[in-house]
Amino acid sequence: MAPINETASSVCPATPSNVCTIVDLAELISTGGTYTQCFTSPLTVWTVTHNLGKFPSVTIVDGNTEIVIGQVDYLNSNVVQITFSTAFAGCVFLN
């Protein structure tokens, strides 16, 4: 689990928002808790080797930063394969 940002927690509203969260994002990034990969060529299958050692949540966006849905298959705790019905370029964010 991610560490709680005690400073932010004391001043955040009861329900965190995109402006104020209780997770210390800098700590997550520094400990390798996230991974981003972009695909510049349109593909129907993206294979992402993230080496996070876990089965992360997956968010996919296209070139217009619109969220896209694909079939996510965890090949193991370090590799995710995402399949789409149509080839496109975009980015995947794992955490």
> What's the pLDDT at 33?
81
> What's the pLDDT at 69?
95
Quote the pTM value. Answer: 0.67
> What's the pLDDT at 26?
53
Q: How many CB atoms lie within 10 A of CB 53?
A: 10
Q: Distance between CA 82 and CA 3 in Å, rounded?
A: 29
Q: Running along the chain, 95 residues long, what does each successive block of 10 average in pLDDT?
A: 46 52 52 86 97 95 94 97 96 96
Q: Give the residues across from 47 on adjacent strands.
A: 81
Is-contact 80 48, C-beta < 8 A?
A: yes
Q: Give the 3-state secondary structure of residue 29.
A: helix
Length of the chain in residues, anyone?
95
> What's the pLDDT at 1?
43
> What's the pLDDT at 32?
61
